[in-house]
Amino acid sequence: MRLKTSDSLIGVAFITPAATLFLLLVAYPLFQSILISFSAINTMTLKGHYVGLANYLDILQDQEFWRTLVNTLIWTAGSLVLQVLLGVGFALLLHRAFPGRALARSLVLFPYLLSTAVAVLVWRWLFNDLYGILNYGLVHIGLIERPIAWLSRMPEAMISVILVGAWKFFPFVVIALLARLQTIPLQLYEAARIDGASAVARFWDITLPQLSGVLAVVVLLRSIWDFKEFDLVYLMTGGGPGIGTQTLPILVYREAFPQLHLGKGAAIAVVMLLVMLVFMLLYLRQSARGDER
Amino acid sequence: MVSVRYQHLHKAFGDGSVALQDFSLEVADGEFLTFLGPSGCGKTTTLRMTAGLETPTSGEIFFGERPVVDLPPGRRNIAMVFQSYALYPHMTVQQNLEYPLRKQGVARDERARRATALAATLQLDALLHRRPKHLSGGQQQRVALGRALIREPEVFLLDEPLSNLDAELRTQMRAELIQLHRRIGRTMIYVTHDQVEAMTMSTRIAVMSKGELQQVGTPLEIYREPRNRFVAAFVGSPAMNFVEGGIELRDGRAVFRAAGLEVALPDARSARLAGLARASGVLAGIRPEHLSLEPGSGEGRVLVVEAMGHEDIVTAETPAGRIVVRSAGTATAAAGDLVPLRVDPEKLHLFDAASGERLAC
């Protein structure tokens, strides 16, 4: 269909505000970061010069970068697996009818709605080696003899961060799955019961395949978000002990600000972007497939 | 092969509503029995209890001599076709067909062999690797039937299986279901609110209303001798006309009399009706096909004529109320005409106006 000129103008007029915001707030900073990543720039003075691929070569030879990348993958995978397990479990529980279900459904959102700073504050209290209730409880029931310094020892610090991350973000998985669960026709389960499927078989043969599309999208989204998560990890441990829980966003921050290496920081951010681009492409493919269905 | 016997079945739901009351019925081995009734009459609940998807509040269901109320659906050796078909959307046609066998632990080769053979008889062989959403309504219906057939169950349960099909396909599937029943000879219990499906396919029909069994009989018995007003009104299309009046005896002959309408009953019926003579409180049921536009019983003013080609459906206003007539031929009347009406006295149904029960005659 051919549009009249006036229709096209109206179309352009509608797109302009959003396009302007996108160019100013997304495209321009992205372009700038990529540009900066090819320079040696001091964060304070913003003075520097073009160095080509030097920042990238520097990163690739940097032990700390590789160690941090591994940390990031451990954090992302660990927290993601727990989020999915908790998410599926709670979604199935909250899908069943029981008195107080509406209240329970709202309560389960609580960790997700809580500000990260507040949540971390509370968890640092719970984990505290001197007066934390976690150590008190574990000692009391005799599981450990002495209090554990949860946040200043490895691997306890990483485990703690992963646990808190799982707790903070699993409600997102619950919401997405619960919405899907409610659209699965009950007659599928009835047909399966008549066909002789046990409760476990019905989960594997009907529930899980019906959830798989949403689950794939949730896993991809959460892995992107966990991969670039900064505040929760930084506030919990500051990346420590040493660089034991340092993830890539923390490394970017440290290079760019305390160390004043804006160029190197930008280069690490660009590498992160490339990794996330892989997830993005998978996500786009998955959602395109979802549309086909 | 097995009969199904319902014994004083009762079902009440948590909210206090009663779905079924003291329901007793025996479905003979190999019979095609239809539960017919409007929505909310308890027919689907009864079918679901037969399947084991609902538990009766009290009463028992027997398959042959075996009580089944405590058996889970998977162990009753039944198959069910749902109104929505309930095909597993993520499985191919072949996987759908094989699913009941897989759950019975049938070996892979044997499953594939039986699915392929069945698909051939249902004309699904070209579709075995498609998913349900890529099938037409009629094809999905066939897969649903196939999934029920493959395990060779003792009892088939069908819950309004044709209501999602268009009119033409429905007629075609009715014929196929009749043939299917004749071929496999298994007990089939069919639920519908469509009297045409019930009349054309069933060995016997159980008419239900408000959780109670109204009448059980062959389609012809239900049509010819409805036991009460509900059954009379529910079966037949266009629906039966009802006229309230009385019975008087005239020269030893019983005459049904209402405002502007008189039908002298044949001798055989007169004798039996003699004791029932009364001035009012009698409801006459007259099927549109047992009326004609000839002098004899009364007259009416034509309101609407619906021309069907081979016959006219004529609606006329009479002093006794609106009367619908199936008049054979074309252009038998026009709106506004004053037409004579004749009731076939042999086919007049008489009910007690208060109780709705059929009068013994």
Q: Determine which of B48, B83, B90 to mutate to test the interface with A (most A C-beta atoms within 10 Å).
A: B90
Angle between helices A248-256 and A262-292 (to 10 degrees): 150
Tokens in use for B152?
């060779």
Question: What is the least distance, in Å, from the CA of B170 to any CA of chain A?
Answer: 22
Over the stretch A263-278, which tens digit does the pLDDT of each residue have? 889 999 999 999 999 8
Given B74, B82, B84, which is nearest A196 (Cβ)?
B74
From chain A, the residues in CB contact with B99 under 8 A are 192, 195, 197, 205
Q: What is the mean pLDDT of chain A?
A: 89
Verify whether the Cβ–Cβ distance B100 to A195 is below 8 Å. yes
CA distance linking residue A82 with residue B52, whole number of Å: 38
pLDDT value, residue A3: 61
> Hey, what are B107's tokens?
């070996």
Q: DSSP code of B293?
A: S
Other CB atoms within 10 Å distance of the CB of residue B238: 14
- What pTM value is reported for the model? 0.82
How far apart, in whole angstroms, are the C-alpha atoms of residue B190 and residue B197? Answer: 9
CA proximity to B135, closest of B167, B168, B93, B96: B93
Angle between helices B137-149 and B167-184 (to 10 degrees): 20
Residue A43 falls inside a structural domain: no
CA A87 to CA A79: how far, in whole Å? Answer: 12
pLDDT tens track, chain B, 361 positions: 789 999 999 999 888 889 999 999 999 999 999 999 999 899 999 999 999 999 999 999 999 999 999 999 999 999 999 999 999 999 999 999 999 999 999 999 999 999 999 998 888 889 999 999 999 988 999 999 999 999 889 999 999 999 888 888 889 889 989 999 999 899 999 999 999 999 999 999 999 999 999 999 999 999 999 999 999 999 988 999 999 999 988 887 889 999 889 898 887 777 777 777 788 889 999 999 999 999 989 999 999 999 998 899 999 999 999 999 999 888 788 889 999 999 999 899 999 999 999 987 5
A chain contacts of residue B89, beta-carbon cutoff 8 Å: 188, 210
Which ranges of A99-247 would DSSP assign to H, the alpha helix?
101-107, 110-113, 116-127, 133-140, 156-181, 186-194, 199-202, 208-227, 231-237
Q: Do B88 and A205 touch (CB under 8 A)?
A: yes
Question: Inter-chain contact A196–B88, Cβ cutoff 8 Å?
Answer: no
Q: Which residues of B touch A210 (CB under 8 A)?
A: 89-90
- Distance between CA atoms of residues A237 and A165, nearest Å: 13
CA–CA separation, A8 and B272 (whole Å):
87
Check B53 against A193: CB less than 8 A apart. yes
d(CA B325, CA B129): 53
Token digits of residue B336: 């506004």
Contact A194 B52 (CB under 8 A): yes
pLDDT tens digit string along B84-98?
A: 999 999 999 999 999
Q: What value, to the nearest 5°, has the Cα angle with vertex A259 and ends A256 and A262?
A: 30
Backbone Cα Rg of chain B: 25
What is the complex's ipTM, to 2 decimals?
0.85
Q: Are A76 and A223 in contact (CB under 8 A)?
A: yes
Angle, CA B22 vertex, CA B17 and CA B23 arms, to 5°: 105
Instruction: Find chain B residues with C-beta within 8 A of A188's C-beta.
Output: 86, 88-89
Asked whether the beta carbons of B261 and B321 are under 8 A apart, the reply is no
Cβ atoms of residues B163 and B82 within 8 Å = no
Beta bridge partners of B173: none
A57: in domain: no
Gap between the Cα atoms of B50 and B20, Å rounded = 13
| Chain A nearest CA to B78, separation (Å) | 7
Report the C-alpha gap between A116 and A111 in whole angstroms.
Answer: 9
Q: Which of A180, A193, A194 to mutate to test the interface with B (most CBs of B within 10 A)?
A: A194
> Looking at CA atoms only, how far is residue B79 from chain A in angstroms?
7
* In a domain? residue A56: no
A287: pLDDT strictly greater than 80? no
Collect all residues with Cβ–Cβ distance below 8 Å to B53 and sequence separation of at least 6.
Answer: A190, A193, A194, B73
| A226 found inside a domain | yes
Backbone angles phi, psi at B225, to 5 degrees: -130, 65
Residue A229 DSSP symbol: -
Could you tell me the residue range of the domain that residue A189 belongs to?
A: 66-292
CATH code, domain carrying A132? 1.10.3720.10
Query: Cα separation of A55 and A63, whole Å?
Result: 14
Task: With respect to residue A7, please indicate whether it lies within any of the assigned structural domains.
Answer: no
Contact assignment for B53 to A206 by CB distance below 8 Å: no
Mark yes or no for CB contact B99/A193 under 8 Å. no
Which domains, ranges and CATH numbers included, belong to chain B?
4-234 (3.40.50.300), 241-352 (2.40.50.140)
Strand partners, B304: B315
Domain membership flag for residue A177: yes
Which whole number is the average pLDDT over A27-56?
87
A61 inside domain: no
Question: How many domains does chain A contain in total?
Answer: 1
Residue A285 makes CB contacts below 8 A (sequence gap 6+) with none
What is d(CA B300, CA B336) in angstroms, rounded to the nearest whole number? 10
Instruction: Please tell me the distance from the alpha carbon of residue A183 to that of residue A241, in angstroms, as a whole number.
Output: 46
> Which residues of A fall within a CB distance of 8 Å from B51?
190, 194
Question: Which residues is A41 bridged to in the sheet?
Answer: A48
Indicate the range of A90-94, A95-99, B203-207, B301-305 predicted with least confidence. Answer: A95-99
Which residue does chain A place closest to B52, by CA atoms? A194
Closest CA to B233 of B216, B249, B257, B214: B214
Give how far B87 is from chain A: nearest CA, Å: 7
Does A190 contact B86 at a Cβ distance shorter than 8 Å?
Answer: yes
The answer to whether position A132 is within a domain reads yes
What is the b/e burial string over B287-304, where b = at least 16 CB atoms within 10 angstroms of the residue's CB?
bbbbbbbeebbbbbebee
